[in-house]
Chain A
C-alpha cells in the first residue's frame, strides 16, 4: 500500500508543480500519518461504544465497534515479560518483547493465568492493607513505574510468571528504493528494511491526506494543506 500512497501524494503535489518530496521526507510524513490515524482508532472506538450505550448503533454490518476492534487487534501481542528482580518485570519494549506498547490490555500471572488488575500508586498501599481486597494469587494487582511493572502479591517472582497482552505501536513504514534512474528512485520492496503501512486498506485515503498535509506544510503550500484537511474532515464526518 505504501507505494500507492506515495504515488498518489506525488501525483497531487506535482499536479500544479507544487513541489516534490524526497523518499526520506515521505517516510517521515508516513510515520507521523500512520501514528496519527492509529491513535484515532481508539477515540473512534470509544465514540462507537458511547453510541452503543446511547442505543444509536446497530448490529451485523452496522456494528462499527466490531470493525474498530478488529483493526486494533491487528496490533495485539501476547508475550511473556522479562523479569527484572523478584516480582518486578520489564514492561513490553523493543529490547524485551520486540515492540513498544501503546496500551497494556491484560496481564496474566502464574500457571493459572490469573488476571492482574492495574492499580494506581495512590491505591496500592491501601489495597494491600485491607483484609478483603489485598492482592492475592487469585486476584493479583500491578503497578507501573518507568519501564517496570511490579506484581502483587510478591509470590509471582519467577521468570515466566507474567504474561502480557498489549497493543503495540505500528512498525515505522519505510518506502524503499534501489537506484535512481533518470532522477527517479525506483520502488523496491525486497529491501530488508522495507515496511508497508500496517493499517487496513480503507485508511489509504486518510494516509494520503495526512501525508499531503505534512507535505504541504513542508513546501509551504497553503492550498495543499487546506485541501487535504478539508478532505479529511469530510471523511471523518462520513464515518460517524
Chain B
C-alpha cells in the first residue's frame, strides 16, 4: 500500500466522505500485518515455516481482539434515546461497557449500575403454582412483575432518586446522620453506595439489553463501550495502532510456536517474553506520559483544599 498524498489525506482526493483518511497514519491495516508477517517472519530459514496463511490470519485477528479489550483505549460512544420500554439494545459490536451516562439539559451525568436485579423472566403459572407449557413442551413465559413495576415506575429504588421511598420526605440530621420521620426504626446514616440521584441501569448480557429504571423513560443515554476491532467482519477495515505493530508480530509467532509440535521450550519461552515485553512497551507508549502532562498534574498539588 502506497503512502497517501496530502491531498488524499485531507480531502480524500475529492471523493466522499472527505474525512475517510483523517488520522489513518496512526494505524496499520490487518492486510499489511499479515503480508509483512509472511514476508519477514515466516518461510525458509525462519522460526515459523510451512504454516497456513489462515492460521496467521487467525492469530493476527486474535491479537487485535485482545488489544481492543484493554490496551488500545479506543472507546466507541453511542447516544440513543430510551423509550417507554426502558431498554437500550446493546450495539452490534459491543463487547464490554465502560460508562453509561444520561444526557439532559446539555449536561452529561454518569449513571451507576444498580446493585439490585431489575429484570427477570417469569413463567406462567396456575393457581397451584404449576407451570404452563406450549405444545412443544416448553414452559410459557410472560413479563415479570419486577419488569412491570419497573416500567410503570412503581418499583421503589434503594437509590436516592425519584423512585426512592424517601424522595421528597423531610428528614433531620443528627450526629452527622440523616433520619426520616417515616418507617419504624431509622436509617443509620447515608449509604454512599446508593447515594446517587441519577437514574440507574443494569446490563442483561444474555438478553443483549440495558434495563433502566423508570426515570430514564424518554431520556437520552450515552453509552461508552469497547468492541473487538473486527469491524463487522470486514477484513479490509481492521486496523492496529502502529505502536502495537511489533507486538502483533510477536503474538503471532508466539501463538504459532506455542501450538507447534517439537518446538523447543526455550524457543517458546523466548517468544512469550518478547510478546509480553512488547505489549508492556506499547502500553507505556500509548499512555503518552510526557513532561508536559506530568507538569500539568503536578500543578494540582499547589491547590489548597479548604
Please list the residues of chain A having a beta carbon within 8 angstroms of any beta carbon in chain B. 49, 52-53, 117, 119, 127, 130-134, 136-139, 141
Judge if B45 is at the interface, Cβ distance under 8 Å.
Answer: yes
- Over the window 52-63 of chain B, the binary record of Cβ atoms lying under 8 Å from chain A Cβ atoms (1 yes, 0 no) is 111001100110
| Contact A119 B44, CB 8 Å, known A132-B61, A138-B31, A139-B235 | no
B: interface residue count bin = 10 to 19
Q: Kindly state the separation between the CA atoms of A132 and B228 in the bound complex, as whole angstroms.
A: 12
Q: Kindly state the separation between the CA atoms of A83 and B44 in the bound complex, as whole angstroms.
A: 34
* Interface pairs (19), CB distance under 8 Å: A52-B45, A53-B44, A53-B45, A117-B52, A119-B52, A119-B54, A130-B58, A131-B233, A132-B57, A132-B61, A132-B62, A132-B230, A133-B57, A133-B58, A134-B233, A138-B235, A139-B54, A139-B57, A141-B54
Closest to A65 in B: B44
Q: CB distance B44 to A139 under 8 Å?
A: no
Judge if B236 is at the interface, Cβ distance under 8 Å.
Answer: yes
Q: Kindly state the separation between the CA atoms of A216 and B233 in the bound complex, as whole angstroms.
A: 64
Sort A-B residue pairs by CB-CB distance and give the 8 closest, nearest first: A138-B235, A117-B53, A133-B54, A132-B61, A136-B235, A49-B44, A133-B58, A132-B58
Query: Taking each of B34, B57, B58, which has the highest tally of chain A beta carbons within 10 Å of its own beta carbon?
Result: B57
Give min CB distance, B228 to chain A, whole Å.
Answer: 10
Give min CB distance, A103 to chain B, whole Å.
Answer: 16
Residues of A within 8 A of B54 (CB): 117, 119, 127, 133, 139, 141
Q: Kindly state the separation between the CA atoms of A196 and B233 in the bound complex, as whole angstroms.
A: 53
8 Å CB interface, B211-255 against A = 230, 233, 235-236
Closest to A114 in B: B31
Contact of B44 among A52, A127, A133, A138 (CB under 8 A): A52
Additional 15 contacts, C-beta under 8 A, given A119-B54, A131-B233, A137-B236:
A52-B45, A53-B44, A117-B52, A117-B53, A117-B54, A132-B57, A132-B58, A132-B61, A133-B54, A133-B58, A136-B233, A137-B235, A139-B53, A139-B57, A141-B54
- Over the window 31-62 of chain B, the binary record of Cβ atoms lying under 8 Å from chain A Cβ atoms (1 yes, 0 no) is 10010000000001100000011100110011
Contact of B236 among A49, A130, A138 (CB under 8 A): A138
Q: Kindly state the separation between the CA atoms of A191 and B45 in the bound complex, as whole angstroms.
A: 48
Q: Kindly state the separation between the CA atoms of A220 and B235 in the bound complex, as whole angstroms.
A: 64
Query: Taking each of B44, B58, B230, which has the highest tally of chain A beta carbons within 10 Å of its own beta carbon?
Result: B44
Q: Kindly state the separation between the CA atoms of A217 and B44 in the bound complex, as whole angstroms.
A: 41
Q: Kindly state the separation between the CA atoms of A49 and B235 in the bound complex, as whole angstroms.
A: 33
Residues of A within 8 A of B34 (CB): 139
Residues of A within 8 A of B62 (CB): 132
Q: Kindly state the separation between the CA atoms of A175 and B274 in the bound complex, as whole angstroms.
A: 61
Residues of B within 8 A of A133 (CB): 54, 57-58
- Over the window 3-43 of chain B, the binary record of Cβ atoms lying under 8 Å from chain A Cβ atoms (1 yes, 0 no) is 00000000000000000000000000001001000000000
Closest to A127 in B: B54
Residues of A within 8 A of B58 (CB): 130, 132-133
Q: Kindly state the separation between the CA atoms of A127 and B58 in the bound complex, as whole angstroms.
A: 10
Q: Kindly state the separation between the CA atoms of A163 and B202 in the bound complex, as whole angstroms.
A: 54
Give min CB distance, A179 to chain B, whole Å.
Answer: 53
Q: Kindly state the separation between the CA atoms of A53 and B52 in the bound complex, as whole angstroms.
A: 19
Residues of A within 8 A of B61 (CB): 132
